[in-house]
Structure 1
Amino acid sequence: MADKLRVLFVCAKNDVRSLMAEALLRHSDCEHFEALSAGLVASEVDPRTLESLDHVGIDTTGLRSKAIDEFEGQPFHYVITLCDKSSEEASRIPTAGEVIVWNFEDPVTSEKHDPFRHAIQEIHDRIKMFITVKTR
């Protein structure tokens, strides 16, 4: 395959869900996809994000919180928003062939037991489906 499909995951702060999605897509299919993530603003990466990814054997090397501005002017095949706030700010998001809206509960404020592991599982399931559909 010549060029990888560029995918940008966007969340409000790029501290949990979008970073998880970036790491999971990179881990699941780096042959077909170039996975990146950004927040409407950059912030501190929640340490539980890295712990949860490490726990399930996902490489977190180079993961850092980035602001959407870092990607200004860059083209993407897919921009996937992971929370309501980022969907509402779509006008700030770089150009994409397709914008996809996913909505995952924020594990930081979740009432669920073990919310970070739960978030990883939900996001990973969705990413596996995305890969299946987009690499046919």
Structure 2
Amino acid sequence: MKRIYFLCTGNSCRSQMAEGFGRELLGNDWEVASAGVETHGLNNYAVKVMAEVGIDISGQYSKLIDVDYLNSCDLVVTLCGDARDKCPVTPATVKKLHWPLPDPAAVTGSESEKLVEFRKIRDQIKDLILTLKFE
């Protein structure tokens, strides 16, 4: 079974949404996980916007990077510059991709304004996962 790891700063929204889409879209040939360089807890807006597209991530939780899992991955995807810059060194066999997505949790404003940003990032993550090419 192939392994993919989605990483961001706090493992609270971007990487959590990517994990949810990965489980849904990549099929049973892939073990999908997410983590962060820190743990910030699962963001409620991420849970809400994923539920809108029929994916339940409410049982997921914020995790720190597991170096053993990282080193055994086929693909590691960083979703922010902080994770890219702080990610531990991986073996040459691990393919790395970087998707520089803004942090929707950093958006200020009303609940509806925050949800707009979370939906935008959610949809970008889905599109990026759908365009992944595996050799």
TM-score by length of 2: 0.85
Displacement of 1:93 after TM fit? 5.6
2:77–2:99: 8 Å Cα contact kept in structure 1? Answer: yes
Q: Which amino acid aligns with 1:41?
A: E
User: Structure 1 CA distance, aligned partners of 2:21 and 2:104?
Assistant: 16
- Indicate the SS of the match to 1:108: helix
- Indicate the SS of the match to 1:86: helix
Aligned 1:95-134 pairs, distance under 5 A: 95=91, 97-110=94-107, 113=113, 114-130=116-132, 133-134=133-134
Q: Which amino acid aligns with 1:128?
A: L
2:36–2:64: 8 Å Cα contact kept in structure 1? Answer: yes
1:73–1:94: 8 Å Cα contact kept in structure 2? Answer: no
Displacement of 1:94 after TM fit? 5.3
User: Structure 2 CA distance, aligned partners of 1:121 and 1:15?
Assistant: 17
User: Structure 2 CA distance, aligned partners of 1:61 and 1:45?
Assistant: 8
Of 68, 74, 83, the residue aligned with 1:73 is 68
Aligned 1:4-83 pairs, distance under 5 A: 5-60=2-57, 62-68=59-65, 71-74=66-69, 75-83=72-80
Deviation string for 1:17-75 (max 9, x for gaps)? Answer: 0000000010112322211000001121110010111111012253111011xx22231
RMSD of aligned Cα (Å): 1.9
Q: Which amino acid aligns with 1:21?
A: A
Q: Which amino acid aligns with 1:117?
A: R
User: Structure 2 CA distance, aligned partners of 1:93 and 1:40?
Assistant: 13
1:27–1:59: 8 Å Cα contact kept in structure 2? Answer: no
> What does residue 83 of structure 2 align with?
86
Identity level (%):
27
* Unmatched runs of 5 consecutive residues or more in structure 1: none
Count how many residue pairs are aligned between Structure 1 and Structure 2. 127
Task: Describe the shift of the 1:88–1:77 C-alpha distance in structure 2 as closer, same or farther (beyond 3 A).
Answer: same
TM-score by length of 1: 0.84
